[in-house]
Chain A
Amino acid sequence: MTTSNTNLRRHPGLNLGPSHGKAHEEAESVVFGFWVFLMSDLVTFAMFFAIYATSIQATAGGPGNADIVDVTSIALQTGSLLISSLLFGVATVAMKYHSSKRVVILWLLASLAFGLCFLGLEIRDFIDAAEKGAVPMRSSYLSSYWALVGLHGLHVSVGSLMILVVCVQIAFFGFASDVKTRVLRLGLYWHFLDIIWIGIFSVVFLPGLLS
């Protein structure tokens, strides 16, 4: 029974396992609470997608979907987010198996670096779009485009800030049990943003190449 218990999953995401004692016990309720937040956030994103879908033709003669898509930049952004997610996963695995603080912080900072690459490319695309006159005030379509893609970008910015915050917390407090569960929750958030991004490139950017 003990061997199967070690593999028993208590909550979404990577489970720390019994060797983490208090943090493993606490994780069940706090991670589930965070999961409820993520699912409600998913509903918010879904509504932004719905509004985007209904206003796709409401360009009012301004720039449309096809005019603002830079496929190379989107591919690079997708790659950065995926690599960032993978590196965050590696960081949580390192934490689970009691690697040193330095190792975990380095993986987290590597993950943050790719998150910032994503943000940099996205901001560059937004600036390019604005220079082409595709500002949010131009049309109903562009308002919904900026709102949807911008909301995701805002989430990534907050996530990047939080990665920095947990790195500082690990450095100062070490692996206290609430710091560990915080890293787990941030991991869920970071992987969740990838899922939203799949929706964004499939619904917003790739169809733009067709027209």
Chain B
Amino acid sequence: MNNKDERAHDLRMYFTGFIAAVILTALSFLTAILQPFGSVGIFASLAVLAAVQIAVHFRFFLHIDVSRQKREELQLILFTGLIILIMVAGTVWVLGNLMTRMM
């Protein structure tokens, strides 16, 4: 691959990510504005769209993927994810419980 091809490849990466992000964002906003399903369906589709868009940003803007040699940053993301899962789930559980008792 020569220099010019590599440059085109790098730029294509950012533009692909950008177009995918714009489409996913538009879908999220349209779901919330048009409200095509019931509220459970809307929350579920917002969650799925957000998760896909986060994956797109990691892949195309932060250049994180699962196949290359360097794995530390991926492991760090997964570990951070675990910490977040424990802390957020714990907070929502305990404080959420407290909130329902206060209401």
Contact = CB atoms under 8 A, between A and B. Distances in A.
B15 A86 contact: yes
B62 A13 contact: yes
Contact of A210 (B21, B32, B87, B98): B32
A83 B29 CA distance: 17
Given A86-B15, A191-B61, A192-B62, 11 more contacts: A14-B10, A17-B6, A46-B87, A51-B91, A54-B91, A54-B96, A55-B99, A58-B102, A191-B57, A199-B54, A206-B32
Given A54-B92, A57-B99, A191-B62, A43 B11 contact: no
Contacts of B21: 82, 194
Given A53-B92, A210-B35, A11 B99 contact: no
Contacts of A39: 76-77, 80
Contacts, number: 142
Interface string B81-100: 00110011001100110110
Interface SS majority for chain B: helix
Given A14-B63, A93-B7, A198 B46 contact: no
Nearest to A83: B18
A104 B58 CA distance: 23
A96 interface: yes
A39 to B, nearest CB: 4
A36 B53 CA distance: 22
Given A51-B95, A82-B18, A198 B50 contact: yes
A8 interface: yes
A47 interface: yes
A41 B77 CA distance: 12
Interface in B27-47: 28-29, 31-33, 35, 39, 42-43, 46-47
B25 A78 contact: yes
A125 to B, nearest CB: 16
